[in-house]
Amino acid sequence: MTMTELTPPAVAAKRPRKQRRRRAAITHDRSVFRGIGLVLLWLFVALNIAWMVWMVIQAFRDTRSILDNPWGMPTSLDPVNFITAWTVGDFATATLNSVVTTAVSSLLTVAVAAPAAYYLSRVDNRLTRSLTMYFVLGLGIPAQVILIPLFVMLNEVYLTDSLIGLNLVYIGVSMPFTVFLLTAFFRSLPLEMEEAAALDGTTAFGTFWRITLPLAKGGILTAFVLQVISHWNETLLALTLLQSTDKYTLPVALISFIQQQTYSGADWGGLFAGLCIVVIPMLVIYLWLGRRLTEGLTLGMGK
């Protein structure tokens, strides 16, 4: 005899009801927590948007009016604060340095990481597994730990106060995350087209260049945009490795501008204008490519 036959009919009938009630309670709890999470998320988004709007508004006001009424509105859209930040803070040179450094380091990072990630995603042996773990371990090393060794090594080859040295550091520091991201993305791509190309006699490099790269343009673009945002906003390495004002990037120039205000009197309008110069370009890029960026980040999660 089975356990169902030994169970009284009334008890057996109550079990499905209890299970349904339990599932309903679990679903209700999940919906409640999800609703709370969405409320907190949109509150966080609203606070960030309000902060951005307030920063832009203050960039068109002078120091006296900002101190008298921090929540006031500008009386005109005079760009004098942006002109002050651009000239006195030397943001013109810093902008050029940031654009060149960010573009070069981001392009080279993706150009080096893409073939490495493709090889690691297609070849499965002890060496590739060890290399993959090596790159994963690199994700857990903070920049503060390697700051002094980097400075000593670059100083030995006379690259401490050089944009070339800063580019090399950015490429090396960004390589673990970029390889890890692109490896997961390449693994999500189908193998049928690559196998057909191999049957036609195409070399491994030809398959990678002609077939895999066009299919992986979403992941490549995602990796590139993430590196652009990271390198544009990076401050610690640039502040440590650069000493000359003509080599400063925008975050370092902003810190130098704040230090100048300490001795000559705080110019809060110019400071907010400098913040806008640093933040708004990345905000525009993210708004322009945000959708593709999200798709590229989530596409490689299937494998």
DSSP codes joined into one string, 6-31: HS-HHHHHHHHHHHHHHHHHHHHHHH
Domain ranges for the chain, please list them.
3-58, 80-302
Residue 269 — very low, low, confident or very high, per pLDDT cuts 50/70/90?
confident
Give the pLDDT mean for 228-246: 91
Tell me the C-alpha distance between 123 and 276, whole Å.
Answer: 46
Tens digit of pLDDT for each residue in 151-197? 999 999 998 899 999 999 999 999 999 999 899 888 888 888 777 87
Average pLDDT, the chain: 82
Rounded to 10 deg, the angle between the 217-233 and 268-299 helix axes is 160
| 80-302 homologous superfamily | MetI-like (1.10.3720.10)
In terms of Cα–Cα distance, which of 206, 188, 189, 184 is closest to 197?
206
Q: Which amino acid is at 262?
A: T
Tens digit of pLDDT for each residue in 12-49? 455 566 666 666 666 656 777 788 888 898 999 899 88
Q: Which amino acid is at 53?
A: V
pLDDT recorded at residue 166: 94
Tell me the C-alpha distance between 291 and 303, whole Å.
Answer: 21
Q: How many other CB atoms are found less than 10 A from the CB of residue 148?
A: 10
In terms of Cα–Cα distance, which of 236, 254, 237 is closest to 245?
254
Tens digit of pLDDT for each residue in 49-101? 898 899 989 888 888 888 888 888 888 787 888 888 888 778 889 999 999 99
pLDDT recorded at residue 27: 67
Residue 262: is its pLDDT beyond 80?
A: no
